[in-house]
Structure 1
Amino acid sequence: MTCDPEIIAEAILSSSGFARVGITMPDPDMRERAARDMAQTIAARLDRPPPSHDARQITLPL
């Protein structure tokens, strides 16, 4: 398992809205549920890193 900050940042941004908003709530139970939800998203993303660049694929200009 790699701990690349880019992968973690992407996982945080792709986590559910509940998780991203819930960790800011004053209710400790809500914060804990949201933190667990976000942690699951991050852990799943770390288990499945994004595919690496395939050198055989042509890069298209934008």
Structure 2
Amino acid sequence: MERIDPTPIAQAILAAPAWARAGITAPKASVREDAAQELANAVIDRRHTLPPELDDG
């Protein structure tokens, strides 16, 4: 099995809004869920920078 390079995913997470990166550790579940959704969106939005094998679109 081929190893996936995490660098583009990490870059997408770091490019996400700061509130989402901090919000993932919030004590309130709804804030954590919103933050996780925002981080996921950041990765999806930057999928054009991902290696072709990770981009199913």
* TM bucket, shorter chain: 0.7 to 0.9
Structure 1: stretches of 5+ with no match in the other structure: 51-62
RMSD: 1.4
Structure 2: stretches of 5+ with no match in the other structure: 51-57
- Residue 26 of structure 1 is matched in structure 2 by 27
Query: Alpha-carbon deviation of 1:23?
Result: 0.2
Q: Which has the higher contact order (CA 8 A, sep 6+)?
A: 1
Q: Report the structure, 1 or 2, having the larger helix content.
A: 2
Tell me, in whole angstroms, the C-alpha distance in 1 between the residues paired with 2:31 and 2:5. 28
- Residue 39 of structure 1 is matched in structure 2 by 40
Identity %: 40
Find runs of 4+ consecutive structure 1 residues off by over 2 angstroms: none
Query: Alpha-carbon deviation of 1:42?
Result: 0.5
Q: How does 1:1-62 map to 2 (within 5 A)?
A: 4-46=5-47, 48-49=48-49
